[in-house]
Structure 1
Amino acid sequence: MSLTLCATCGVEHASRPEVCRICADERQWVPADGQRWTTLDELAAAGASVAFAELEPSLWALEVAGVAVGIGQQSKLLVTPAGALLWDPLPYVDDDAVGRVRSLAGDAGVVAVAASHPHMFGVQLEWSRRLGSAGGDVPVLVSRADLDWVARPGPALRAWEGDRVILPGVTMTQPGGHFPGSAVVHWAGGAGGRGVLLSGDTIFANPDRVSVSFMRSYPNRIPLSGRVAERVARHVARFAFERLYNNFDGVIPRDAVDVVVRSARRHREWTDGTHDHLT
């Protein structure tokens, strides 16, 4: 039987419970007409494919095209001479997409699949299996604090915490916030050597391109506290990065560290009542 996934969040499941636990949580939602499930076979029959776009040298964005599945997120493929990282894996995969990823990754291949948080798990084990080789599946890195949200266990899963160097110049780290294990990736070589942060929605690039948001739930509009926003900002400000990409098509094109720190201060001021006289 084809792999089962929740049609709303796009996360793969080993079975079909009455309701997807990820969607039943206050950070997500179950559709008004009830839980819906789908399979990769059904998505393929409906015309699903994976579209690729180059964001900058060595960094690619992947999106599901042709059908609506999951929350419309964007995956990132970060390619280095030592191998590639597939970040925030999509809720769909097919042979064409695997072939393209392998071609872009080069001889070193994909060394890890990882998600910023449980909403972005997608079909992570399926990507791992299809990108694997005779030597085994590609490791799937899951924040230890968020392991309980995994709905499809498998031997490729690897728990991690703290800071983890995935590839030379590529570090995954956990500022938390949106989820306790919410993670970001720092790529020292990005933006022409000035650094890039792949932030998922741990830190969300706003449409104005000069500010970011810190939220417990984006669709349900639940903010984090100002104290947590500033903690997250301090955590990532240890790294140098000129540019920031979120898990959709949002980008902070320049001065991204300053934008994050300034936005966290603004968030704290609004949540602690500093600006109540403006309301």
Structure 2
Amino acid sequence: MTCFLCLQCGVQFTAAAAPPDHCPICEDERQYVRWEGQAWITPEELAAGHRIVIKDDAGLLGFGVEPRFAIGQRALLAQTAYGNVLWDCISMVSDEAVAEINRRGGLAAIAISHCHYYSAMVEWSEAFDGVPIYLHANDRKWIMRPHPAVVSWEGETRVLSPALTLIRCGGHFAGGQVLHWKREGGDAILAGDILQVTPTRRHVSFMYSYPNYIPLNAAKVLGIEAALEPFAFDHIYGAWWNQNVIGDAKTAFAASVARYLAAIA
């Protein structure tokens, strides 16, 4: 029995004797099936040709897969006095990565922005004694490997600790969430691509489907703006290495919303 990984999106499926027939996440219009057709890889095959790189990203510890695999996101470690949280996820786990997190106090929980980054979330949880995985209930249908560690929370915010709060923004996915972090050095939003940091690193943008170029409508963007309005933040951390807004990020966010709404009007 093997927990196969989709080669296109990197999401892991429930253990089976043979690969699944298809990947619902890739068949959704926000993603796509690879041109060569649906394909799968085992965790062992992935580990044979890839490794986890661990490095600093604008002051946060990040974990990524090299060579680039699937969508190519990296995970971040939110280190707090109340316990550490792994934000977003990648498709493989290594002894080195687990040891590095344990050296920094271990892991209290995992939280993931949306289903494109669910990847090997269950393996990460099990590597830390089954820590909870916080996903919004609106995205429950996209969980391809159900597990008792998954917490499908409901509502608009979920406080994980005095330092960390999940905020449902919706947008890209109905349960799309970001993580607000009260911290020294400036409060931060860990955003995945619910807020897509642009190459200028002074703006964000919004899409319903990134690879298929379907923009997000005005009502959804205004919903994201309303969800974040009560929160102060100085930085926004995106989904990929070095794709962050560092300093004055709330002003940059407000300007980004106005620019986007003007562009689609």
- TM-score class normalised by the smaller sequence: over 0.9
Correspondence for 2:179: 185
Instruction: Work out whether residues 112 and 138 of structure 1, in 8 Å CA contact, stay in contact via their aligned partners in 2.
Output: yes
Partner residue in 2 for 1:203: 195
Q: Does residue 147 of structure 2 align to residue 150 of structure 1?
A: no
What's the secondary structure of 1:110's corresponding residue? coil
What SS does structure 2 have at the residue aligned with 1:264?
A: helix
| Pairing partner for 1:164 from 147, 158, 161 | 158
2:97 is matched with 97
Q: Which residue in 2 is equivalent to 1:260? A: 253
User: In structure 1, how many angstroms separate the alpha carbons of the residues matched to 2:48 and 2:54?
Assistant: 20
TM-score by length of 1: 0.89
Query: Residues 197-242 of structure 1, C-alpha deviation per residue, up to 9 Å, x if partnerless?
Result: 1011110110011111111111111110122212212211311111
Alignment gaps of 5+ in structure 1: 273-279
1:68 & 1:205 partners in 2: Cα distance? Answer: 19
Aligned-residue sequence identity (percent) comes to: 37
1:67-106 map, 5 Å = 67-104=67-104, 106=105
The TM-score normalised by the length of structure 2 is 0.94
Partners of 2:157 and 2:223 in 1: CA distance: 16
The answer on whether the counterparts of 1:227 and 1:268 sit within 8 Å (CA) in structure 2 is no
What residue is the counterpart of 2:33 in the other structure?
30
- Does the CA contact (< 8 Å) of 1:234 and 1:261 recur in 2? no
Letter paired with 2:124: W
Question: Any gaps of 5 or more consecutive residues in structure 2?
Answer: none
Counterpart residue identity of residue 188, structure 1: K
1:277 alignment partner in structure 2? none
Match of 2:62 in 1: 61
Write the distance in 1 (CA, Å) between the matches of 2:234 and 2:68. Answer: 32
| Equivalenced residues, count | 260
- Letter paired with 1:185: L
Amino acid at match of 1:64: V
Measure, in 1, the Cα distance between the counterparts of 2:58 and 2:172: 27
**Native 8 Å contact 2:82 2:163 kept in 1:** no
Question: How far apart in 1 are the matches of 2:150 and 2:215?
Answer: 30
Distance 1:167 1:54 in 2: 24
Aligned to 2:114: 117
- What is the Cα-based RMSD across aligned positions, in Å? 1.4
